[in-house]
Amino acid sequence: MKTSAKKPTKEIISCPEGSCLVRAHDKKKKNKRGEPYIQHVHNYCRMMPNYFDNFCKTENPENPDLTYTILTAFGEARGESNESIKAIAWVMKNRKQIKKWKGTYKNIVLSERQFDCWNPSDKNYPTILRIIHHDKKEQETWEKCKKIIEVFLPPIDSILV
């Protein structure tokens, strides 16, 4: 199996939310011909500074945390059925009830290796960014996810443990 030419670096990266830091790791991938290779992923912060926080506060000033769940459902299951969107919501809801997670949906969805759509190298990550920039192409699907999540998940305050 081939490896990428770049060697791992010992870079230090600043991450506003410590739980959002993804450490450097190797990822198995396949090229266009189907041949396997190893890609080295450098340290990165899953939380683009202020991008998502500002959007979530604008989208839902009373409960910006809920907007993270909508973004996650949108990123993970936007082309799927309503049941698939609800399944993503169940995962987030179940994790919310486990004390291991740190109290907010934001911390749950941005935790390392939990939801691929928050990984900048994932194919769905640019779609989340397009919603933040109010791309009209995805607006109908965004509204669908928003309705399902807002009905399915109770307000954050009612489920804090």
* CATH architecture for the domain at 51-159: Orthogonal Bundle (1.10)
Query: What token pair was written down for 79?
Result: 């082309």
Say which amino acid occupies 136: K
Average pLDDT over residues 17-42: 77
At 32-80, the pLDDT tens digits run: 899 998 887 766 666 554 668 878 888 888 888 889 999 999 999 888 8
In this model, does residue 110 exceed pLDDT 70?
A: yes
Quote the CA–CA distance of 61 and 53 in Å, as a whole number.
11
Q: How many angstroms separate the CA atoms of 36 and 151, rounded?
A: 43
Does this model's pTM top 0.85? My answer is no
CB-CB contact of 153 with 69 (8 Å) = yes
Distance separating alpha carbons of residues 17 and 46, to the nearest angstrom: 9
Q: Could you state, in order of their start, the residue ranges of all structural domains in the chain?
A: 2-45, 51-159
Q: What is the dihedral of CA 6, 7, 10, 11, to 10 degrees?
A: 0
Query: Looking at residues 78-85, what average pLDDT do you find?
Result: 89
Task: Give the per-residue pLDDT at 43.
Answer: 64
